Amino acid sequence: MDAQWVFDSSQPREELFGMGMRIRSVGAALRFAESVLLAPGQQHARRNAWAAVCEDRRYAADRRHDAVATAETTGTAGGRALHR
């Protein structure tokens, strides 16, 4: 067993755990472990979310383009006839 993980009441509560971080509480230790273990999954989720945002923007741009083309073809703008 690694000595740094053994509880020793004579040592201060703020033990130095790997990567130069001081873990001040059990909650902080759990958040740290979660961030280390889930980091690759979070990166993948961020990439998927960004891809979805880009796809939504392309879809919206296509709809705007189609609406303008339809308005030019039919002579309407926003559902109203154009007055010339």
- Over residues 26-57, the pLDDT tens digits come to 888 888 888 888 888 888 999 999 999 999 99
Residue-level pLDDT at 3: 44
Spatial contact of 18 and 8, defined as CB atoms under 8 Å apart? no
Residue 64 structural domain: 3-74
CA distance 40 to 43: 5
Q: pTM value?
A: 0.46
Q: Is residue 82 part of a domain?
A: no
* Total domains, the chain: 1
pLDDT at 2: 46
Q: Is 72 exposed, middle or buried (0-12, 13-18, 19+ CB in 10 A)?
A: exposed
CA 61/CA 38 separation, integer angstroms = 35
**17 forms bridges with which residues in the sheet?**
21
Within-domain flag for 80 = no
> Would you say residue 83 lies in a domain?
no
Q: Is residue 48 part of a domain?
A: yes
Which H or E element spans position 69? helix 26-74
Is it the case that residue 63 has pLDDT exceeding 50? yes
